[in-house]
A = this chain, B = another copy of it.
């Protein structure tokens, strides 16, 4: 691995799932080893692991762990018994479609598993992981090719090695563009309320020797107004058939601001996600289930109250950016400019 790509947050090691606990970064690097499916589902719900592709990969390994348990308990009817585990994993978070996509692929692997089902399932999960990593490298190249030398880029949330099988989606594009010497500045929103930008993206980029400047989410518009940003580059938790994009809360505001600053300052908005994030079964973004998380994420900071006792908060974890605000979607099967249902469908038919 190059010095700009050193982190793997989801690992399968010696028969266990090893997760870098993202709740404690950057202060502490703690790896959890998980051996039962309940712990895997809880790790997803509690955001030990987060990021749409990483959630999918984690769930895939979770199915391997579930199968091991069920095969021990009831080798004759493990395929029936594991249904409850698949449901448990599916209920861990609602918005990122990669979770359901990975579980669907693992269900197919269950159906096709032969005499060594555990080996077959592990192979399927490792394939999902390896495919994601490869997809990220492809997207990195394709996205970086769109960026002119000397550009400033702004990203939101964490879409890097911590959020994927490795390398990253939006952050993979930023990695590739940085390695190609194209980037003048990398800016990252701190990304309230969970501070994925300040805690995770800054940690990941500093670890991988890519300089980054943090800013409060509300400052992004001012950064664009000063001509410091040519591309806003974000990931996605679900892209619907028409190109609408669910992503971390705050993304939609960036898209509106990018469009407002497009004529005068040339700001463009890029969404980077593997096709496992594309949900062709939903026509448009209004149908995406949006997770609302505990108001305490807004009302507290690092375990301390910052708001008065009894205050209310509205805390959606994601928002939906309409396709009309997206300049380009980058996937491992190709790029889609000014996405529409037809253009997205055509891209999905490309070979992967």
Contact = CB atoms under 8 A, between A and B. Distances in A.
Interface of A: 26-27, 156, 187, 189-193, 195, 198-199, 202-203, 206-207, 211-223, 225, 249-253, 256-257, 259-260, 298-299, 301-302, 304-316, 319-320
Contacts of A249: 216, 218-219, 222
B192 A190 contact: yes
Contacts of A215: 298, 313-315
A314 B213 contact: yes
B256 A214 contact: no
B26 A307 contact: yes
Contacts of A307: 26, 190, 198-199, 202-203, 214
A205 to B, nearest CB: 9
Contacts of A312: 211-214
A298 B190 contact: yes
A304 B195 CA distance: 13
25 contacts: A26-B306, A190-B298, A191-B218, A192-B218, A198-B306, A198-B311, A203-B308, A206-B311, A211-B312, A212-B312, A213-B314, A214-B298, A214-B311, A215-B298, A216-B217, A217-B218, A217-B250, A218-B249, A218-B253, A221-B250, A222-B252, A222-B316, A257-B257, A302-B302, A302-B306
A330 B312 CA distance: 29
Contacts of A221: 250, 252-253, 256, 319
Contacts of A253: 218, 220-222, 253, 257
Contacts of A212: 311-312
Contact of A304 (B206, B220, B302): B302
Given A305-B27, A307-B202, A319-B225, A189 B214 contact: no
A249 to B, nearest CB: 5
Nearest to A256: B260
Contacts of A257: 253, 256-257
Contacts of A192: 190, 192, 216-218
A262 B213 CA distance: 32
Contacts of A206: 308, 310-311
A146 B66 CA distance: 60
A152 to B, nearest CB: 11
A323 to B, nearest CB: 14
Contacts of A302: 301-302, 304, 306
Contact of A299 (B156, B198, B301, B319): B198
**Most central of A192, A260, A308 by chain B CB within 10 Å:** A308
Nearest to A157: B218
A202 B295 CA distance: 14
Contacts of A319: 219, 221-222, 225
A67 to B, nearest CB: 38
A216 B317 CA distance: 10
A213 B313 contact: yes
Contacts of A251: 218
Contacts of A27: 305
Contacts of A304: 302
